[in-house]
Amino acid sequence: MTWWRRFLCALAAGGCCLPAHAHRLDEYLQAVTVKVADDGIALYVRLLPGVDVARAVWAGIDTDGNGELSPAEQAAHARQVVADLALQVDGRQVMPVIASQSYPAWKDASQGLGQISLALQAGPAPGAGAHRLHLVLGHRRDIAVYLVNALLPMHPDITITEQRHSADQAVFDLGFTRRQ
């Protein structure tokens, strides 16, 4: 076996032993997926606090400090996440509506395994022509890292023409067109 193949085998074997981490422990990952569909625009928000910041994130949601998130506390937090973002479609401000929400138990969140999930409806899809969506994220900027992407449209009349992100991905611009 040549030295090059031995090197690649050793590299592959060593890589298998390394632990896999979803994200850094001291960050609050906020991943947003934008979906432009025939029936409307949706945002899917996943909030994943790292182990080192989980207690601070949880304390900001669990306002009565009992260690559990009541439906009222969850709803208040979801509303705050929505209030901390700014969304425009074709230059007009859009206020997304919370369609669903899911919160983990503290046990999972404290181990970096819990994920907060929000599904947001951002209004009907615009009519025919070229359109621009502008999204600014601002929830917990002190500890947040952002990731934003658009889903490939399933409808054949909708085409993504451009995606642009700021360096920290807190600002996202999406160009798309719709036939008919």
19 belongs to a structural domain: no
7 belongs to a structural domain: no
2 belongs to a structural domain: no
DSSP state of 62: -
In terms of DSSP bridges, do strands 28-37 and 144-150 run parallel, antiparallel, or are they unpaired?
Answer: parallel
Which two structure tokens, joined as six digits, stand for 9? Answer: 């085998």
Query: Domain tally for the chain?
Result: 1
Segments forming the whole domain that contains residue 69: 24-178
15 belongs to a structural domain: no
4 belongs to a structural domain: no
97 belongs to a structural domain: yes
Q: What is the pLDDT along the chain (180 residues), one digit of tens a residue?
A: 554 444 444 444 444 444 444 457 889 999 999 999 999 999 999 999 999 999 999 999 999 999 899 999 999 999 999 999 999 999 999 999 999 999 999 888 888 888 999 999 998 989 999 999 999 999 999 999 999 999 999 999 999 999 999 999 999 999 999 997
Which two structure tokens, joined as six digits, stand for 70? Answer: 């009541």
9 belongs to a structural domain: no
Question: 3-state DSSP call for residue 11?
Answer: helix
Order the strands of the 116-121 sheet from edge to edge. 97-102, 116-121, 40-49, 28-37, 144-150
